[in-house]
């Protein structure tokens, strides 16, 4: 199973970046192939990354997206209260 974890940025040390990294590692342990899809990243070691324009969207069976983006209306947003 291939899963995309999406957000505009993937930064080490912030709440969303830590949450994405945790989901990535958990999915890997479960035998899933996760990919982090983001426009910018400050961390790449140990993660499969893709730019949104280069992602093979049809290959993902599940897409996790952290915030609502009107240009991505087919993606169900994931809301987190970690940063509030």
Looking at residue 54, which CATH number applies to its domain? 3.40.50.2000
Intervals of the chain under pLDDT 70? 67-84
Q: Which domain holds residue 48?
A: 2-72
The pLDDT assigned to 84 comes to 42
Percentage helix, strand, coil, to 5, in the chain? Answer: 30, 25, 45
Q: Is residue 44 part of a domain?
A: yes
The pLDDT assigned to 77 comes to 53
Q: Is residue 55 part of a domain?
A: yes
pTM of the predicted structure, to 2 decimals: 0.77
Write out the DSSP string of 3-28.
Answer: EEEE-SEE-TTSHHHHHHHHHHHHHH
Domain count, the chain: 1
Q: Is residue 52 part of a domain?
A: yes
Longest dimension (CA), the chain: 33
Q: Is residue 68 part of a domain?
A: yes
Neighbours of 38 (CB within 10 A): 21
The pLDDT assigned to 33 comes to 97
């Amino acid at each position: 199973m291939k899963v995309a974890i999406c957000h505009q940025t993937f930064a080490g040390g912030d709440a969303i970046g830590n949450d994405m990294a945790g989901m990535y590692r958990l999915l890997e342990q479960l035998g899933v192939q996760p990919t982090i899809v983001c426009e910018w990243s400050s961390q790449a070691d140990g993660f499969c990354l893709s730019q949104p324009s280069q992602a093979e969207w049809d290959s993902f069976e599940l897409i996790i997206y952290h915030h609502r983006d009107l240009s991505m209306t087919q993606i169900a947003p994931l809301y987190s209260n970690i940063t509030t």
